[in-house]
Chain A
């Protein structure tokens, strides 16, 4: 419990620092450390698979992609002429925040054993996955067996992203 508070403070500080810093390469590395702190938070909450993905993708691959993008553009954040903030945004966005806070009050508490997710669908997976699929890791069983159609569509999305990047940026390649 005691390690969570410094970790969350570190999370907010790195997120603010990535926005506020002027040098864009520093911003990319601060964003990588933000992903690493977020991975630690996921690991504390018990979601080891999500923590693994966050550490590898957020702190590893995304940082490399941001750096490669920066090498093609400029490294300094130049101030663009920004239009003044409209009054509708100043009034509307706090109201939207209040509405979201009001809606969040009805969500179940974290780890609540009587919430709908942990009374209906989670016990079904936990009890049946080792017998039906022979896979001790329930997350893999859910992703690849019970919800494999979703994973199939996600694979199509990744494939489309690679094709689109190649089509847009590799113009001179045969």
Chain B
């Protein structure tokens, strides 16, 4: 596993930059309908901030608790995306045809807006979880396995 960094400069820098990066990721995700960005980029920025927390403070520390918790959500983003498509099916339309998203009190354009926003959130969650998961997989060292084999 990754050891925490012991430099004061790096730790202070991380405490300042990581919340800003997470806020910027959420901003990019939510602003994707009006400017450059969207679900994929927002998810990558959020994943990058959490990977930075893991690399600076270590996987076991309190600062990377979000990265540990998010690992259990593998597949949730895909479920959100597919769930929006399923809601469109229930509403009587084709898969991912947001005109049939059965939300009362919304006209057709607003249904498309809600559908785009929800699917973007799904993509962002999926990309963020996958990024953190791949980073932890790559940094996983096989010390524990080799020690087990030695004791056996």
Chain A residues with a Cβ under 8 A of chain B: 48-49, 51-53, 56-57, 60-61, 64-65, 68-69, 71-72, 131-137, 139-141, 143-145, 148-149, 151-152, 155-156, 158-159, 161-163, 165-166, 168-173
Q: A165 and B116: CB pair below 8 A?
A: no
B7 interface hit (Cβ, 8 Å): no
Most-contacted residue by chain A among B36, B45, B131, B136 (CB, 10 A): B36
B87 interface hit (Cβ, 8 Å): no
Given A155-B81, A161-B130, A169-B138, 18 further pairs, Cβ under 8 A: A52-B37, A60-B48, A61-B131, A72-B139, A132-B108, A133-B112, A135-B34, A136-B34, A137-B33, A139-B38, A144-B39, A144-B119, A152-B85, A162-B74, A166-B137, A168-B137, A170-B140, A172-B144
B61 interface hit (Cβ, 8 Å): no
Instruction: Tell me the complex Cα distance, A7–B119, Å.
Output: 36
Residues of A near B44 (CB, < 8 A) are 53, 56-57, 60-61
Residues of A near B144 (CB, < 8 A) are 172
Residues of B near A69 (CB, < 8 A) are 138
